[in-house]
Amino acid sequence: MKFRLEIVTPERLVYSEDVDVLTLPTVQGEISILAKHVPLVSIISPGEIKIKKDNEIEYMAITGGFVQVLPHKVIILADAAERAEEIDIERAMRARERAQKLMEEKRGDRISHAEAMAAFQRALVRIKVGQRKRKIK
């Protein structure tokens, strides 16, 4: 049994298809959603989204946002989301290096250090997801 998954960012509709299973990171931990899941609303943590559809798995990087789960539809409002094939790994590696350097420079400034740490985490997620390929399971 499938359900509709929609992933929306301020810039665009990233994804809108019927899927079998969705796994995503929330502030309470990773959750998997199937059709007829109990309704819920949660904050999404930066990380990797795994979408299973017709024995294929697709990965996406997400920087955070909100998820609303309804019995036959899941809506993700994301700050940013990218499919694995959209990620420029070299650019993500440069972003990781810049963030790492900034973290070292801003150790004494808690706010700037936290912002640099968040940028570093986003880059790591993008690299991880960018290196994945669509898999048959």
Provide DSSP, the chain. Answer: --EEEEEE-SS-EEEEEEESEEEEEETTEEEEE-TTPPPEEEEEPSEEEEEEETTEEEEEEE--EEEEEETTEEEEEES-EEEGGG--HHHHHHHHHHHHHHHHHTTT-HHHHHHHHHHHHHHHHHHHHHT---EE-
Distance CA 39, CA 27 (A): 17
Same domain, 68 and 42: yes
In a domain, 10, yes or no: yes
Amino acid at residue number 74: V
**pTM value?**
0.73
Same domain, 56 and 108: no
For the record, the structure tokens of 107 come out as 């150790």
- Per-residue pLDDT tens digits for 18-27: 999 999 999 8
- Per-residue pLDDT tens digits for 92-120: 778 778 877 877 776 666 666 677 767 76
- Per-residue pLDDT tens digits for 84-97: 777 777 777 787 78
- For 69, the domain range is 3-84
Look at residues 47, 66, 84 and tell me which one is the last residue of a structural domain: 84
Distance of CA 38 to the CA centre of its chain: 21
Amino acid at residue number 48: E
Same domain, 79 and 43: yes
In a domain, 107, yes or no: yes
Same domain, 13 and 79: yes
Q: What is the mean pLDDT of the chain?
A: 84
Give the count of alpha carbons within 13 A of 20, CB side only. Answer: 8
In a domain, 31, yes or no: yes
In a domain, 53, yes or no: yes
Same domain, 97 and 79: no
Same domain, 11 and 54: yes
Same domain, 21 and 59: yes
Same domain, 69 and 104: no
In a domain, 136, yes or no: no
